[in-house]
């Protein structure tokens, strides 16, 4: 459904744009309907930039993003973009900055109505909103006709998901939607993503949290310095990490029943077998992947 092929993003930085910053390097991946794909990486690994490029909020430097067969990386014209957003929507990291503080929170619904459903009758629209709110398990009396500062982060985040559901979307880009939430509301939002998946939505789940990626996703993509370090079905990536960076990341996850010393000792006792990583020449911008097992890819070493 969504297909990124050799997508690059290069920023010009510094005085007169002399220096270049490579935010995303040769990323290729796919998202199928009913599939949750996690983009996992540290700050600055380019994961949010990929999300923004899919949403058309940031331009693609080179490469192609295809959605249901159409190239969407260079949409020209306002109406084409508007039609694209009818099928692809996003939810951002910070629910508090996603709402304009001087307006009521449910204005995000009104904007959708005026843009996409100007002809719908009031009663139909009301039913639609109530249905969307029911999907995200919000009580309409608690959230409608309120200002953003009167609502909690979890409520706001779920309002944003409800907003996306008003449109008949096929793909949801969820950019760190859990990270600003309390632990108690996190699981609700995660389970909600699971429900959406059941309904056949493709979800691009951007996160820096390995355990969240493991919990929610079918496919995991571990990014480092803009390039894919490891990509594959979540179980395989987490049980058999092949790239040294993914191994390092996984070894950094605290474990409930063991101390660091025990983990380190065990790791030193039987070190994992080194996997032969693909290499690129100096000055080559590409980042090739090799297929280690079926659907499990390993990328270049950039350390």
Residues in contact with other proteins by the rule CB under 8 A = 55, 57, 78, 81-82, 85-86, 89-90, 92-94, 97-104, 106-116, 122, 125-126, 129-130, 140-141, 144-145, 147, 160
Query: How far is the C-alpha of 158 from the C-alpha of 187, rounded, in Å?
Result: 12
CB 143 to other proteins: min, Å:
9
Q: Report the residue number, 93 or 155, with the smaller CB distance to other proteins.
A: 93
Q: What is the CA radius of gyration of the chain?
A: 21
CB 55 to other proteins: min, Å:
7
Query: How far is the C-alpha of 1 from the C-alpha of 81, rounded, in Å?
Result: 17
Q: Report the residue number, 127 or 293, with the smaller CB distance to other proteins.
A: 127
| Phi–psi pair at 34, nearest 5 degrees | 70, 20
CB 141 to other proteins: min, Å:
5
Q: Report the residue number, 163 or 224, with the smaller CB distance to other proteins.
A: 163
Query: How far is the C-alpha of 217 from the C-alpha of 212, rounded, in Å?
Result: 8
Ordered DSSP codes for 238-272: HHS--SHHHHHHHHTS--TTS-HHHHHHHHHHSPP
Q: Report the residue number, 66 or 107, with the smaller CB distance to other proteins.
A: 107
CB 206 to other proteins: min, Å:
14
Q: Report the residue number, 26 or 106, with the smaller CB distance to other proteins.
A: 106
Residue with tokens 């571990």: 222
CB 132 to other proteins: min, Å:
11
| b/e 221-231 (16+ beta carbons within 10 angstroms → b) | bbbbbbbbbbb
CB 290 to other proteins: min, Å:
36
Q: Report the residue number, 49 or 234, with the smaller CB distance to other proteins.
A: 49
Side by side, which strands form the sheet with 36-40? 88-91, 171-175, 202-207, 36-40, 219-224, 227-233, 296-298, 290-293
Query: 257, exposed or middle or buried, with CB in 10 Å at 0-12, 13-18, 19+?
Result: exposed
């Amino acid at each position: 459904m969504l297909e990124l092929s050799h997508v690059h993003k290069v920023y010009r930085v510094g005085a007169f744009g002399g220096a270049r910053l490579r935010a995303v390097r040769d990323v290729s991946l796919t998202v199928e309907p009913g599939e949750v794909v996690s983009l996992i990486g540290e700050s600055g690994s380019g994961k949010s930039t990929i999300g923004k490029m899919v949403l058309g909020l940031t331009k693609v430097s080179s490469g192609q993003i295809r959605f249901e067969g159409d190239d969407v990386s260079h949409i020209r014209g306002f109406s084409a973009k508007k039609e694209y957003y009818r099928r692809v929507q996003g939810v951002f990291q910070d629910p508090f900055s996603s709402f304009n503080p001087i307006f009521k929170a449910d204005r995000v619904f009104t904007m959708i109505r005026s843009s996409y459903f100007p002809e719908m009758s009031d009663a139909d629209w009301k039913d639609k909103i109530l249905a969307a709110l029911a999907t995200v398990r919000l009580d309409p009396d608690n959230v409608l006709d309120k200002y953003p500062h009167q609502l909690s982060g979890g409520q706001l985040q779920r309002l944003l998901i409800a907003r996306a559901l008003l449109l008949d979307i096929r793909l949801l880009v969820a950019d760190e939607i859990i990270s600003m939430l309390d632990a108690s509301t996190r699981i609700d939002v995660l389970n909600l993503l699971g429900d959406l998946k059941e309904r056949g939505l493709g979800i691009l789940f951007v996160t820096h949290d390995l355990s969240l990626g493991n919990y929610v996703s079918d496919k995991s993509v571990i990014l480092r310095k803009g390039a894919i370090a490891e990509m594959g079905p979540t179980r395989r990536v987490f049980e058999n990490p092949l790239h040294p960076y993914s191994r390092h990341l996984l070894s950094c996850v605290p474990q409930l029943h063991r101390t660091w010393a025990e983990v380190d000792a065990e790791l030193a006792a039987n070190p994992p077998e080194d996997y032969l990583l693909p290499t690129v020449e100096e000055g080559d911008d590409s980042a090739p992947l090799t297929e280690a097992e079926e659907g499990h890819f390993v990328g270049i070493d950039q350390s």
